[in-house]
Structure 1
Amino acid sequence: MKIATFNVNGINGRLPVLLRWLEEARPDVVCLQELKAPDGRFPIREIETAGYGAIWWGQKSWNGVAIISRGRQPIETRRGLPGDADDSQSRYIEAAVEGMVIACLYVPNGNPAPGPKFDYKLRWFQQTDYAAELLALDVPVILAGDYNVIPTELDVYKPERWGDDALFRPEAREAFRALVGQGWTDALPALHPGERLYTFWDYFRNAWGRDAGLRLDHVLLNPPVAKRLVAAGVDRDVRGWEKASDHAPVWVELSEAARPVRRRRSASKGGQQR
Structure 2
Amino acid sequence: MDDSENVSYIIIHDLTPDAKILYLSPSLTDVLGYDPADTMGTSSFDWIHPDEVEAARQLHYETIRDDKAAAVAYLRVKNQEDRWVGVVIQRSVVHNALIGSLSFAKPGAKAMHTAATAQEVAFLNPAAYQTQLEFRKWNDSQSKASIVVPRDMSVPFEDLFNNIPTPSERTGLILNRFSRRCPIMYCTNDCIFDPVKLRGRSLYDFVHPEDESNVRQCIDVSKGWAVSDSGHPSDGGFVFGSFRACLAGRDSTEG
Give the greater-gyration-radius structure (CA).
2
Q: TM-score, normalised by structure 1?
A: 0.29
Name whichever structure is richer in strand by fraction.
Answer: 1
Q: TM-score, normalised by structure 2?
A: 0.30
